[in-house]
């Protein structure tokens, strides 16, 4: 007792079911075709996630290393500041010692100049005394020669006094020349 409408409806339902089954088979076939691509996409997605995790881990390690470097850098900066302070203090101390040394050198140089002037003055006086002694010796020998001539001494004694007088005159002239040279 199936009515016509019921039959039509059943046929339509069956056709719809067949179409749905056919579409489902087609979708399964498409899914099976796409399955490798989906799996590949999932693998890529997982690879990207893995790489992202690796990058995050590397970033954490880099941040840790960076914090260590920053601490070391700060420590180095403090050390450099301290070294610069120490260097400045040592430079100041060195400059003070150098200045003191230069003062001492100047004093020594002045003393050398004073000693040199004193020695030059002593040399002048020594040469002056040498000249005066030679002049006095010459005058004594002239006086002795005159007295010997007046007293009638023998010729040998007169020649000897004359020879000493010539040597004394020569010594006086040398002393005078030397004294002039030192004066200049």
Residue-wise pLDDT tens digits, 132-149: 888 888 888 888 878 888
HSE-up of residue 130 (Cα within 13 Å, Cβ side): 18
Tell me the CA distances in angstroms from 16 to 8, 9, 20, 29, one per residue in order: 12, 10, 6, 19
Question: 3-state secondary structure string, 88-156?
Answer: HHHHHHHHHHHHHHHHHHHHHHHHHHHHHHHHHHHHHHHHHHHHHHHHHHHHHHHHHHHHHHHHCCCHH
Q: What is the pLDDT of residue 6?
A: 63
Q: Which residue range is the domain that position 151 belongs to?
A: 4-183
Show the low-confidence residues of the chain (pLDDT under 70). Answer: 1-8, 10, 184
If phi > 0 it is left, if psi is from -120 to 50 it is alpha, else beta; for residue 153 that is beta
pTM: 0.43
pLDDT of residue 88: 95
Task: Tell me the pLDDT tens digit for each residue of 2-36.
Answer: 566 666 676 777 788 888 889 999 988 888 888 88
How many folded domains does the chain comprise? 1
Quick check: 182 and 127 in contact, CB under 8 A? yes
């Amino acid at each position: 007792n199936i009515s016509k409408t019921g039959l039509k409806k059943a046929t339509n339902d069956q056709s719809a079911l067949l179409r749905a089954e056919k579409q489902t088979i087609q979708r399964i076939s498409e899914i099976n075709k796409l399955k490798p691509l989906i799996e590949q996409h999932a693998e890529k997605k997982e690879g990207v996630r893995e790489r992202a995790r690796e990058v995050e881990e590397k970033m954490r390690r880099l941040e840790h290393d960076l914090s260590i470097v920053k601490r070391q850098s700060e420590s180095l900066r403090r050390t450099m500041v301290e070294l610069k302070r120490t260097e400045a203090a040592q430079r100041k101390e060195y400059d003070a010692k150098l200045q003191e040394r230069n003062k001492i050198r100047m004093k020594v140089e002045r003393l050398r100049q004073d000693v040199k002037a004193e020695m030059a003055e002593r040399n002048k006086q020594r040469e002056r005394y040498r000249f005066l002694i030679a002049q006095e010796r010459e005058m004594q020998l002239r006086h002795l020669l005159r007295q010997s001539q007046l007293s009638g001494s023998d010729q040998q004694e007169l020649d000897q006094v004359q020879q000493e007088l010539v040597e004394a005159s020569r010594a006086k002239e040398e002393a005078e020349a030397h004294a002039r040279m030192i004066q200049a």
